[in-house]
Amino acid sequence: MAFQDFDKIQERVTAERKRKFRKRIIVGTVSVLVVVAAIVGGAFAYVSYEKKHEQVAKNNNKSNDITKDSQKTSQNPSPNQKAPVSAAQSVKPGQANKIIQSLCSSTLYKLTCEKTFKNRTEKSIALENPTTLLKSAIEAINKDLDIVLEKLLSLKTENQDDKDAIAQCKLLVEDAKEETLASMNKVNGTEVNNFAEIVPDLDSWLSAVMTYQETCLDGFEEGSLKSEVKKSVNSSQVLTSNSLAMIKSFNANLSSVIKVTPRLLDEIPSWVSNEDRRILRAVDIKALKPNATVAKDGSGNFTTINDALKAMPEKYEGRYIIYVKQGVYDEYVTVDKKKANVTMVGDGSQKTIVTGNKSHAKKIRTFLTATFVAQGEGFMAQSMGFRNTAGPEGHQAVAIRVQSDRSIFLNCRFEGYQDTLYAYTHRQYYRSCVIVGTIDFIFGDAAAIFQNCNIFIRKGLPGQKNTVSAQGRVDKFQTTGFVIQNCKITANEDLKPVKAEYKSYLGRPWKNYSRTIVMESTIEDVIDPVGWLRWQETDFAIDTLYYAEYKNKGPSGSTTSRVNWPGFKVINKEEALNYTVGPFLQGDWISASGSPVKLGLYDA
């Protein structure tokens, strides 16, 4: 499974031990066999009763008919787990329709939402945890993704670009299916009162599902084939949007119908081990005790990073540490989804460098140009450099693509020109890093915070306009966005002498609900006073985007001459707090890892 927390493994081990212990007690306690038999008989009757009603709950169909909605708007469960009594008692007769209407009230596609639950009865809902309704909504996404896969497999074309787009889309839809399954398993068995505990994961994973679908479509050139695929993908996009909306307002909406008492979250997640807590505090490499050492001169276990990754055990429990000694490693590296909790530590961001030169100019899709790809959950990198040397003539050329959930980068350097850092999906944290580029050089649809970073705008091709960011949120309920906090945005040495010839901006809207917040940062005069740039000189997304600034300083930190778009805001302290590490990334997992982090505002 792509998203498996190692505390869950421990939970299963503990559960298995308890089961064996109970078995020994039963076998050894001969004197109470009669009592046990009575209990077993009662349990059998109860299970039979439960199974009868579980079958009712499974008779759940959905409709792909979203026409009217479109006109109005343009994770493993225990098989023996039964519905919590507290949830069943909280639903009273006559409330089923009210619960469904309440859950659907905040969605953009209400008719589709209600159709998703249309075969649910008063009796089935009364016997279930109401979160089962949300699970069925996510199941509907998964079923629709199966339809998309069938469609992709049926497409016939002789055009190689189209073939490549279909192949890429298929992989992305499979990624989306993994995350919907992870979400379903996460919801399964969760009581209403505990729902808030799983919301961050659901938000992150389903936001990624939305992004995968959008990236699929982006891979096709405009034309009939793209239109055909888009029509197929549209239904699952609608269902994903509805699920995200329901998650966002689940407790609030249900509280008007049934009694909901949310439980407080733990301060530090249980999945964080003591080992994780010390890793990023380590300064002495010897004290780090790496599992593998990579060195080009042969002084380590491996001479390439890829060889070190291949040698990693398939089911390694804990954090796997790879020390990469000084050197320039000319290789394309992917930390795949099966390799969770990998840490890479280098000798310095300008000493240990992973480099490549793939680019869009070489007829390679932007998504596939990345020198380094981080997919496995919980990836950490410290004192590493990631580079794409295609140059400005290569146009889109990615140094690193990050889609690892709860990933951390400390004292790293990302160097390229256009599309340097692809912060693709999930929750990401960057601290004291250097990011260098020209056009859209921090882009993607992750929920990412850049803290204490130096962002350098470099000299590109004559006549080009530079943009620091291009955030790609496609739906208003996605919990994604870029936050640039306490950073410095300035001109690179090659741009300084000619910065007047190259207009530079904080960002531009890649997708409809693009969201970027720049706060408590120093903005040098390399940035144009208007601050933000339109997408290809159009009004695209200026009403629906969310661009905000708070307490920036420096020559271009003033907001007096900023764009007057409806989506641009100068926010106050209360609003800015929503985009700090604590609430925006549920950032206790960062501080628990041992990484330095500011959870709130610097001026607090």
> How many structural domains does the chain have?
2
| Residue 80 maps to a domain | no
For 558-602, list the strands marked E by DSSP.
568-570
Predicted local confidence at residue 594, as pLDDT: 86
- 292 and 250 within one domain: no
How many residues are given for the chain? 604
Predicted local confidence at residue 580, as pLDDT: 97
DSSP 30: G
Which of 229, 257, 285 is the last residue before a domain boundary?
257
- 352 and 219 within one domain: no
Predicted local confidence at residue 257, as pLDDT: 47
Helix 224-254, helix 199-218: angle, nearest 10: 170
Taking a C-beta distance cutoff of 8 angstroms, is the pair 510, 474 a contact?
no
Strands across the sheet containing 400-402: 333-335, 372-374, 400-402, 421-423, 439-444, 466-471, 504-507
- 280 and 165 within one domain: no
Predicted local confidence at residue 188, as pLDDT: 87
Predicted local confidence at residue 54, as pLDDT: 40
Taking a C-beta distance cutoff of 8 angstroms, is the pair 102, 258 a contact?
no
Which tokens is 420 given?
């340097």
C-alpha closest to that of 152 among 171, 130, 131, 180? 171
User: Distance of CA 494 to CAs 185, 420, 442, 498, Å?
Assistant: 51, 17, 19, 8
| Residue 27 maps to a domain | no
Q: Which residues of the chain have pLDDT under 50?
A: 1-21, 23-89, 126-127, 257-258, 260-280, 282-283
- 307 and 227 within one domain: no
Burial of residue 245, with CB atoms counted within 10 A of its CB: 0-12 exposed, 13-18 middle, 19 or more buried: buried
C-alpha closest to that of 221 among 162, 175, 163, 157? 162
What is the rounded distance in angstroms from the CA atom of residue 419 to the CA atom of residue 422?
7
What is the rounded distance in angstroms from the CA atom of residue 46 to the CA atom of residue 6?
33
- 282 and 427 within one domain: yes
What is the rounded distance in angstroms from the CA atom of residue 72 to the CA atom of residue 70?
5
User: Distance of CA 315 to CAs 159, 181, 182, 271, 319, Å?
Assistant: 40, 20, 18, 17, 11
- 290 and 427 within one domain: yes
Q: How many helices (H) and strands (E) does the chain have?
A: 17, 26
| Residue 601 maps to a domain | no
Tell me, what CATH number does 481's domain have?
Answer: 2.160.20.10
Residue 547 half-sphere exposure toward CB, CA atoms < 13 A:
30
| Residue 59 maps to a domain | no
What is the rounded distance in angstroms from the CA atom of residue 104 to the CA atom of residue 414?
43
Q: Measured between alpha carbons, how far apart are the two ends of the chain, in Å?
A: 40
What is the rounded distance in angstroms from the CA atom of residue 120 to the CA atom of residue 60?
7
Predicted local confidence at residue 603, as pLDDT: 87
Residue with tokens 């609608």: 238
Residue 409 half-sphere exposure toward CB, CA atoms < 13 A:
30
- 167 and 109 within one domain: yes
Long-range contacts from 201-204, C-beta under 8 angstroms, 24+ separation: 201/3, 201/75, 202/247, 203/244, 203/247, 203/248, 203/479, 204/405, 204/426, 204/427, 204/447, 204/479
Predicted local confidence at residue 122, as pLDDT: 53
- 389 and 252 within one domain: no
- 231 and 122 within one domain: yes
Kind of pairing between the strands at 522-523 and 488-491:
parallel
265 residue type, one letter:
L
Rg of the chain in Å (alpha carbons): 26
What is the rounded distance in angstroms from the CA atom of residue 100 to the CA atom of residue 117?
7
Strand, helix or coil for residue 177? helix
pTM: 0.82
- 250 and 138 within one domain: yes
Which of 200, 222, 257 is the last residue before a domain boundary?
257
Predicted local confidence at residue 288, as pLDDT: 79
Burial of residue 518, with CB atoms counted within 10 A of its CB: 0-12 exposed, 13-18 middle, 19 or more buried: buried
Predicted local confidence at residue 95, as pLDDT: 64
What is the rounded distance in angstroms from the CA atom of residue 43 to the CA atom of residue 35?
12
DSSP 406: T
Can you give the residue range of the structural domain that contains 535? 276-580
CB atoms within 10 A of CB 351: 15
Tell me, what CATH number does 168's domain have?
Answer: 1.20.140.40
Provide φ and ψ at 7, rounded to 5°.
Answer: -65, -25
Residue 439 parent element (H or E): strand 439-444
- 386 and 252 within one domain: no
Predicted local confidence at residue 384, as pLDDT: 98
C-alpha closest to that of 176 among 142, 136, 220? 142
- 299 and 252 within one domain: no
Predicted local confidence at residue 251, as pLDDT: 63
Predicted local confidence at residue 67, as pLDDT: 41
| Residue 64 maps to a domain | no
Catalytic site positions: 440
